[in-house]
Chains A and B, each alone.
Chain A
């Protein structure tokens, strides 16, 4: 028994074991505090699907060797643009959602290409540069949201210039994936469509990673010198990985928005990259290596932690926002922990 326990902890690593233990403690507390556990489970499932693709966007980035892609806000901005165009075209339902995705993909591909070229120029400092590229993209788009010529009354402020800070999707594609084929097990609501969409995305990335281009990319990330020696165009592979990461970021934010019910413009997406990074790290990825399984496990654990911690914390301490503080500590703590391992690996 102790042996197997030790084996499991060794495989999962110290950080993950702690978080899983913490999650279990939270669940037990939730039961004792008489918080309806089925509600928490439904929420966790929804939030896993909602954030999953944003977390998935980290995988190609890490594998092609640009490290944790803190520049994911670039992709997010492309996704927001696609979503707004779809509303502007006055679409509803599934066509609105998929048109948004289809429009945002080429935009994200172009942006991702130039972003990849940039990251090739700054090898060795990608994470720092990409963080600030993300920040400046968001603040540049703040100006963009003020001056873009959208005319739909749902997007624009009724009075004055610019777009609304939050754009409701209730008449467009709010929860369209969540509700698709959704059913109840007991009292737990399963957002089938959302989960299927997430899993299909995972599958597509998995297929790509096992294609020739994907394997080349992994080789580049693993050992650039070896890759050069075997005649692989390193820079090109890195650009492909970055493009893919940006595209997934764009698709991710549209999925996120349809579940959340709103598009959030201006400063809101600024820190989203950090949450995605933390999630994949919790799942077991490092700055050099990541798998699809890390995405699924990590998103589930991180979002589960957040959903379950919130009501539990509110029951214990009624004042202030303890769960928000806990999120900050866990999120950045886990990123820091991973960063100390970057040097250890070398």
Chain B
């Protein structure tokens, strides 16, 4: 990304403009969400409550996209395949009637070999379609969906013996369209422990304060940034405690702590892996295939590894998603996974070649805020809830198209500037 830096340095006077330009999607969404929240007329408590459920449900899937982006493969539209792997494991576990957290852990374990295999095959294919990874992974998702339907509609009951009236259609062939997970892994992860939101914020802030202090003591120096962060967290702690006293209604909003912890673990993993040799290889491959190859990195292998990791995480992400939802739509649950996750990531300000954890989280919050408020806002503003529904679908597709377009456009401009230099 050296070129990008030099170009940026040259245009220092218009830095603010560039900052706006780079984050235009996110800024637009903040405005859209504010408008939506205002006109939906829904109480804040309801929105926050929904939002927390959705963040814990979806952010794992969004985070699973980051590693391939860093490895220069663009957005992995193929996480649908990971989601399928998760669902295959889930159906098996439901069949064996293993419920609760044991069922969840077992399906998570089962997901791994399936997703590794799928990811490996995806990686192989994407190595054959270098430069077109995104469209190839998207079409691959559609293709895999056909094979998935073949498996569950025709092979179950004929080639694969399965005698389970709860799961199999009355004719004895094929899995039912919707599977109720309420006797199985529904809320397996979410319901382990739930705490009121403000308590969680207080504890998380205190942990962060201790961490910053610890780091500061270790380096024997507190920088300006540290002090600013410390004061922010202190204000948050005080504000939360005060809010707890004034507005007892906040105690009603509960956070599924374990789910959030799992998501945090994934964030830590993502940070950690970038510091290892493998992470450096990802970065090197992401910046320049050719240079990476010359410096002795097995480019193809690294690319396959990044897709495998992404696929496995997507499988787990789908499990988290489904345990919260409580019903598995056998032939539909996975279809939109990729699109929604990618839209969320892009809304957070990520691009095809750059994505961070904070972008993923911010994007998830913004995207789902819009999801919660848009039907009601559409009804209040335009007199039809249906318009709001279609609007959010349009937004999801539109934002992906816009981001991909902007990215390609920037690349073209960069190429031209390079020629001039």
A329 with B171, Cβ < 8 A, contacts A139-B397, A342-B132, A343-B128 known: no
Query: Is B401 in contact with chain A by the CB < 8 A criterion?
Result: yes
Interfacial chain A residues near B408, Cβ < 8 Å:
121-125, 129
| Distance, CA A343 to CA B408, complexed state (A) | 18
| Distance, CA A161 to CA B379, complexed state (A) | 13
- Whether A325 and B154, one on each chain, are in contact in the complex, defined by CB atoms closer than 8 angstroms, is yes
- Whether A343 and B401, one on each chain, are in contact in the complex, defined by CB atoms closer than 8 angstroms, is no
Interfacial chain B residues near A274, Cβ < 8 Å:
139, 142
- Whether A121 and B132, one on each chain, are in contact in the complex, defined by CB atoms closer than 8 angstroms, is no
Query: Is B179 in contact with chain A by the CB < 8 A criterion?
Result: no
Query: Is A276 in contact with chain B by the CB < 8 A criterion?
Result: no
Contact of B132 among A142, A320, A339 (CB under 8 A): A339
A306–chain B nearest beta-carbon distance, Å: 14
Contact of B149 among A123, A139, A325, A343 (CB under 8 A): A325
Query: Is B153 in contact with chain A by the CB < 8 A criterion?
Result: yes
- Whether A143 and B171, one on each chain, are in contact in the complex, defined by CB atoms closer than 8 angstroms, is no
Interface positions, chain B 384-421, Cβ under 8 Å from A, are 384, 386-387, 390-391, 393-394, 397-398, 400-401, 404-405, 407-409, 411-412
Task: Please name the residue on chain B nearest to A335 by beta carbon.
Answer: B139
Interface positions, chain B 373-390, Cβ under 8 Å from A, are 382-384, 386-387, 390
B118–chain A nearest beta-carbon distance, Å: 15
Query: Is B200 in contact with chain A by the CB < 8 A criterion?
Result: no
Query: Is B173 in contact with chain A by the CB < 8 A criterion?
Result: yes
Interface size, chain A (Cβ < 8 Å): 43
Interfacial chain B residues near A329, Cβ < 8 Å:
143, 146-147, 150
Interfacial chain B residues near A146, Cβ < 8 Å:
384, 386-387, 390
Which stretch in A4-12, A55-63, A99-107, A130-138 binds the other chain?
A130-138
A343 with B131, Cβ < 8 A, contacts A125-B407, A129-B408 known: yes
B219–chain A nearest beta-carbon distance, Å: 44
Contact of A131 among B131, B135, B391 (CB under 8 A): B135
Query: Is B37 in contact with chain A by the CB < 8 A criterion?
Result: no
Task: Please name the residue on chain B nearest to A147 by beta carbon.
Answer: B387
Task: Please name the residue on chain B nearest to A325 by beta carbon.
Answer: B149
A157–chain B nearest beta-carbon distance, Å: 11
Per-residue CB proximity of B128-154 to A under 8 Å, as 1/0?
A: 111110111011101101110110011
| Distance, CA A274 to CA B401, complexed state (A) | 17
| Distance, CA A168 to CA B139, complexed state (A) | 32
A153–chain B nearest beta-carbon distance, Å: 20
- Whether B390 and A132, one on each chain, are in contact in the complex, defined by CB atoms closer than 8 angstroms, is no
Interface positions, chain B 270-295, Cβ under 8 Å from A, are none
A136 with B154, Cβ < 8 A, contacts A122-B412, A332-B146, A335-B139 known: no
- Whether A131 and B129, one on each chain, are in contact in the complex, defined by CB atoms closer than 8 angstroms, is no
Interfacial chain B residues near A161, Cβ < 8 Å:
383-384
Per-residue CB proximity of A280-292 to B under 8 Å, as 1/0?
A: 0000000000000
- Whether A328 and B132, one on each chain, are in contact in the complex, defined by CB atoms closer than 8 angstroms, is no
Query: Is B174 in contact with chain A by the CB < 8 A criterion?
Result: yes
Per-residue CB proximity of A184-197 to B under 8 Å, as 1/0?
A: 00000000000000
Query: Is B25 in contact with chain A by the CB < 8 A criterion?
Result: no
- Whether B411 and A124, one on each chain, are in contact in the complex, defined by CB atoms closer than 8 angstroms, is yes
Interfacial chain A residues near B106, Cβ < 8 Å:
none
Interfacial chain A residues near B153, Cβ < 8 Å:
320-322, 325
| Distance, CA A249 to CA B208, complexed state (A) | 57
| Distance, CA A36 to CA B322, complexed state (A) | 46
Binding site for B on A (CB under 8 A): 70, 118, 121-125, 127-129, 131-133, 135-136, 139-140, 142-143, 146-147, 161-162, 274, 317, 319-322, 325-326, 328-329, 331-333, 335-336, 339-340, 342-344
Q: What are 16 contact pairs spanning A and B, CB under 8 A?
A: A122-B404, A128-B134, A129-B404, A129-B405, A136-B397, A139-B397, A322-B153, A322-B154, A329-B146, A329-B150, A339-B132, A339-B136, A340-B125, A340-B129, A342-B129, A343-B131
| Chain A to chain B: the 9 pairs with minimum beta-carbon distance, closest first | A132-B401, A328-B146, A122-B408, A332-B143, A329-B146, A125-B408, A136-B397, A139-B394, A135-B397
With A125-B405, A162-B384, A325-B146 given, can you name 6 additional A-B contacts, CB distance below 8 Å? A124-B131, A140-B398, A142-B393, A147-B387, A325-B150, A340-B136
